[in-house]
């Protein structure tokens, strides 16, 4: 494109050697990073990478590695960079002189201890659009590129772990689970395989999931991030984007091979992060109780010869974030008539502009990556999750509601509002979930004297 366009840019590419000399190599005492006079712009198509990506191709050779590292500007074939939101912290580490900007990871011994091999979903460019299915196989699939000095990096890492949750100890004490010394140990810990996954978006496929044009998606992502990635607008030759957002973690209970075997019973919970409940036990929602129930069901399934999967998505507060979430809590509890199931979704929309931003359309990708084609037991009541999974081609045989005794008192507002809005209603509650129930479900006030005058005296105090 335009010679003139390039001329008007005051900058040009800094070579790796220049960067090293200016930023790191010269001053071993470091301190603040001293950039060279050149700013590396990423917006020029003339830098098109020699290594292209053919999304959905059936071999790593044909597909090509995702190159999103900033150490090889000329080879980058993707927009954005690695480590999701943590790339911003990396910029501080470099700026503060704590990290060589050209550092390349030593991947020796980092390969997965468990094999997640290719399955047909990997070769369908529409079935997986928000992660790189080859992301954990960097060393084996793209070893040739690594040998040639190309800075290819994993976007998925897999390891084994023991997890411990007090709810599992309780399940053993109450006799619901029995330790087997293999999967579930006597102290309540569970041996799992876990996979951390960073987002890698194939923009044409992501746009198609939402039924919008790629141009609209790119434009909105550029604008709504305050112009963070100009290439979204200028580089139509690049259609892979690593967004600076939180990823997901898959926990596997039992042999991972069973995930691809439809003859094995498969239990799944897809869980969206709720830090207040998941970690701190906050009682306004059902998140941690439902997550713990999902883990218990996964353990039970695996002990009975099947396999369980929890996928944990960093989508705090319906992807609205905790600041918005806490504002909504206050608005709910101070509104006239108190915290009511009836106005549960409306209050969120008032503060956030939308009821939910989790967009489950992208969620099934991890399940397809694992090779799951059928879920016997889905531990979720969300109609959005269910629809997304079924629409992605995975069969769901049974949906499991959260047991009543696990719903905290103050979370009745949430669970009743959700069931009334279209969430799965278990058989024993059919006919009970109606407008009367929703109108009658009222939560606790804010436990602060200051808040009381704002709450209408509608006779609901208790």
Residues that bind Zn ion (CB under 5 A): 274, 277, 285, 287
Min separation Cβ 289 and Zn ion, Å: 10
Which residue, 264 or 318, is less far from Zn ion as judged by CB? 318
Nearest-approach distance from CB 348 to Zn ion, in angstroms = 12
User: 407: alpha, beta or left, given left = phi > 0 and alpha = psi -120 to 50?
Assistant: beta
Structure tokens at 63: 């597909």
- In the bound complex, what is the minimum distance in angstroms from residue 177's beta carbon to Zn ion? 24
Q: Residue 299: name the closest of 194, 400, 183 by CA.
A: 183
Beta carbon of residue 364, minimum distance to Zn ion (angstroms, whole number): 22
φ and ψ at 80, to 5 degrees?
80, -170
Kindly state the smallest distance separating residue 7's Cβ from Zn ion, in Å: 54
The distance of closest approach from Cβ of residue 241 to Zn ion in the complex, given in angstroms and rounded to an integer, is: 29
Helix (H, G, I), strand (E, B) or coil at 158: strand
Structure-token pair, residue 103: 């550092």
C-beta of 193 vs 277, nearer to Zn ion? 277
Name the residue nearer to Zn ion (CB basis): 207 or 419.
Answer: 419
The owner of tokens 């045989």 is 397
Length of the chain: 462
Q: Are strands 248-253 and 307-313 parallel, antiparallel or unpaired?
A: antiparallel
Cα(69)–Cα(10) distance, integer angstroms: 24
Tokens of 266: 């498969």
- Closer of 231 and 272 to Zn ion (Cβ): 272
240 vs 352, beta carbon nearer Zn ion:
352
Catalogue the active-site residues.
356, 358
Nearer Cβ to Zn ion (215/279): 279
Report the alpha-carbon distance of residue 297 to residue 180 in Å, rounded: 15
- Phi, psi values for residue 398, rounded to 5°: -150, 140
Alpha carbon of 375 to those of 188, 249, 399, 426, 430: distances in Å? 26, 18, 9, 18, 23
| Spatial CA neighbour of 95 closest among 186, 2, 33 | 33
Q: By C-beta, is 23 or 310 nearer to Zn ion?
A: 310
Sign of the dihedral defined by the CA atoms of residues 349, 232, 151, 65, in that order: positive
What's the min distance (Å) between Cβ of 286 and Zn ion?
7
**193, 199 contact by CB (below 8 A):** no
Closest listed residue to residue 319, CA positions, set 268, 249, 387, 245: 245
């Amino acid at each position: 494109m335009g010679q003139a366009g390039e001329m008007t840019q005051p900058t040009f590419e800094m070579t790796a050697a220049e960067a090293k000399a200016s930023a790191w190599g010269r001053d071993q005492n470091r301190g603040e990073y001293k950039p060279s006079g050149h700013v590396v712009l990423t917006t020029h198509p003339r830098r098109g990478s020699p290594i292209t990506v053919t999304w959905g191709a059936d071999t790593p050779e044909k597909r090509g590695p995702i190159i999103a590292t900033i150490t090889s500007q000329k080879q980058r074939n993707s927009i954005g960079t690695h480590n999701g939101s943590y790339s911003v912290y990396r910029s501080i580490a470099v700026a503060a002189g704590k990290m060589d900007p050209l550092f390349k990871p030593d991947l020796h011994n980092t390969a997965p201890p468990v094999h997640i091999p290719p399955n047909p979903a990997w070769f369908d460019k529409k079935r997986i659009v928000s992660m790189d299915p080859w992301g954990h196989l960097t060393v084996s699939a793209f070893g040739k590129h690594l040998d040639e000095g190309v800075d290819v990096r994993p976007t998925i890492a897999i390891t084994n772990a023991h997890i411990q949750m007090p709810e599992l100890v309780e399940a053993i004490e109450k006799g619901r689970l029995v330790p087997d010394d293999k999967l579930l140990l006597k102290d309540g810990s569970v041996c799992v395989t876990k996979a951390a996954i960073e987002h890698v978006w194939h923009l044409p496929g992501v746009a198609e999931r939402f039924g919008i044009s790629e141009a609209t998606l790119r434009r909105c992502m550029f604008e709504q991030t305050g112009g963070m990635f100009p290439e979204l607008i200028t580089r139509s030759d690049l259609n892979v984007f690593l967004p600076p957002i939180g990823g997901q973690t898959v926990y596997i209970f039992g042999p991972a091979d069973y995930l691809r075997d439809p003859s094995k019973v498969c239990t799944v919970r897809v869980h969206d992060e709720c830090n207040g409940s998941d970690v701190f036990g906050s009682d306004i929602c059902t998140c941690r109780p439902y997550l713990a129930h999902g883990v218990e069901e996964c353990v039970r399934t695996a002990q009975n010869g099947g396999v369980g999967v929890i996928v944990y998505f960093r989508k705090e507060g319906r992807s609205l974030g905790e600041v918005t979430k806490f504002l909504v809590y206050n608005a709910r509890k101070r509104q006239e008539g108190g915290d009511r199931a009836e106005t549960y979704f409306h209050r969120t929309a008032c503060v956030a502009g939308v009821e939910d931003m989790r967009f489950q359309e992208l969620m099934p990708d991890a399940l397809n990556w694992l090779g799951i084609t059928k879920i016997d037991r889905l531990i979720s009541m969300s109609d959005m999750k269910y629809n997304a999974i079924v629409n992605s081609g995975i069969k769901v045989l049974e949906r499991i509601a959260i047991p009543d005794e696990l719903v905290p008192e103050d979370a009745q507002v949430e669970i009743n509002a959700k069931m009334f809005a279209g969430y799965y209603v278990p058989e024993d509650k059919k006919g009970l979930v109606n407008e009367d129930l929703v109108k009658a479900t009222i939560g606790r006030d804010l436990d602060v004297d200051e808040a009381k005058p704002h709450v209408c005296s509608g006779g609901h105090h208790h």
